[in-house]
Amino acid sequence: MSFFTSRFKHKLRARRSFVLLGGLALLLGFGTSSLQAQAPKASEEERRTARVQATYLSHLVNFTRWEKRHLPAENESPKIVVVGNENRGFVDSLAFLIRQNALRIEGQLVKFEYFENSRKAEAREMLGKGCQLVYILPNSSFTPREINDLTESAVVFGEGRGFVTDKGGDVSFVTVRNRVKLVVSEKYFRRTSPKLSSKLVNLKSVVEIIPSGGPQGPRGRKGVDTAPLQQPPPSR
């Protein structure tokens, strides 16, 4: 009986992962078409892009795994932190999605925190206590390396290809011909924690993977590369 129960749970997890991946792929297509369908003035386009970015980020949390050593104590909530100033509605959109979807990290409800530039000292204090994801807005004075020094458990998000290729961030959003795409450091797939599911390698049209030979931040704090990136087997 335990054998069949184990097989059933494995299939259930595989099916759930497939549904999530399909949903993310559909989301990427939807976000792209919604951006292309209209040509509003620039400020409205920026707000639309910000909403798409917030939605991508909330979905990517479901494809990331944190080991116990990178999670808070049982009586504390995992944290998603945004730093910097913005007026595009990204922060409001992300906060809404976290509440609406009851977003969880490793089964625990997420706590959302936002710190404007004027509250950098408070942000540093919180980051020093540990968090699971940090989004650095373009005008923030924080850098990925500074975040890595403050907390070893966070995935570091930002904007622009150089955020990953030059500054050593984990994930960035880029907009190409009105399409929002992801630039992802290979180390985010290869390290043990926090680790992104290799299933996203299949979304080649919207995900660019940067080899991990570039900037990686302080080695050892978030886990060194342990194995080549494995391509997931084709779906049957």
Q: What is the CATH number of the domain that holds 76?
A: 3.40.50.2300
pTM, two decimal places: 0.77
- Assign residue 104 a region (left: φ > 0; alpha: ψ between -120 and 50; beta: otherwise): beta
The reply to whether 234 falls in a domain is no
**Interhelix angle for 90-100 vs 42-60, to 10°?**
40
Give me the pLDDT at residue 202, please. 82
**How many Cβ atoms sit within 10 Å of the Cβ of residue 198?**
14
Q: Is 172 helix (H, G, I), strand (E, B) or coil?
A: strand
Give me the pLDDT at residue 181, please. 93
- What is the distance between the alpha carbons of residues 61 and 18, in angstroms, rounded to a whole number? 15
Whose tokens are 């976290």? That residue is 98
Whose tokens are 């951006």? That residue is 35
* Per-position pLDDT tens, the chain of length 236: 443 344 434 444 444 444 454 455 445 544 443 333 343 344 788 899 999 999 999 999 999 999 999 999 988 999 999 999 999 999 999 999 999 999 999 999 999 999 999 999 999 999 999 999 999 999 999 999 999 999 999 999 999 999 999 999 999 999 888 788 999 999 999 999 999 998 888 888 889 999 976 444 434 344 444 455 555 555 44
- What is the distance between the alpha carbons of residues 40 and 20, in angstroms, rounded to a whole number? 31
Give me the pLDDT at residue 74, please. 86
Give me the pLDDT at residue 18, please. 41
Instruction: With CA atoms as reference, report the closest residue to 134 among 170, 82, 94, 93.
Output: 82
- What is the distance between the alpha carbons of residues 16 and 156, in angstroms, rounded to a whole number? 26
Phi, psi of 158 (to 5 degrees): -165, -160
Paired with 209 in beta bridges are: 184
Q: Which residues form the domain of 64?
A: 2-210
- What is the distance between the alpha carbons of residues 115 and 137, in angstroms, rounded to a whole number? 10
The reply to whether 235 falls in a domain is no
The reply to whether 92 falls in a domain is yes
The reply to whether 221 falls in a domain is no
Give me the pLDDT at residue 111, please. 97
- What is the distance between the alpha carbons of residues 214 and 77, in angstroms, rounded to a whole number? 32
The reply to whether 231 falls in a domain is no
Give me the pLDDT at residue 232, please. 54
**Core vs surface per residue 24-53: b (16+ CB within 10 A) or e:** beebbeebbeebeeeeeeeeebbbbbbbbb
The reply to whether 37 falls in a domain is yes
Q: Running DSSP on this structure, what letter comes out for residue 220?
A: T
Q: What are the tokens at 124?
A: 């540093």
- What is the distance between the alpha carbons of residues 211 and 222, in angstroms, rounded to a whole number? 17
N-terminal to C-terminal alpha carbon distance within the chain: 26
Q: How many domains does one find in the chain?
A: 1
The reply to whether 227 falls in a domain is no
The reply to whether 233 falls in a domain is no
What would the 3-class secondary structure string for 98-152 be?
Answer: HHHCCCEECCEECEEEEECHHHHHHHHHHHHCCCCEEEECCCCCCCHHHHHHHCC
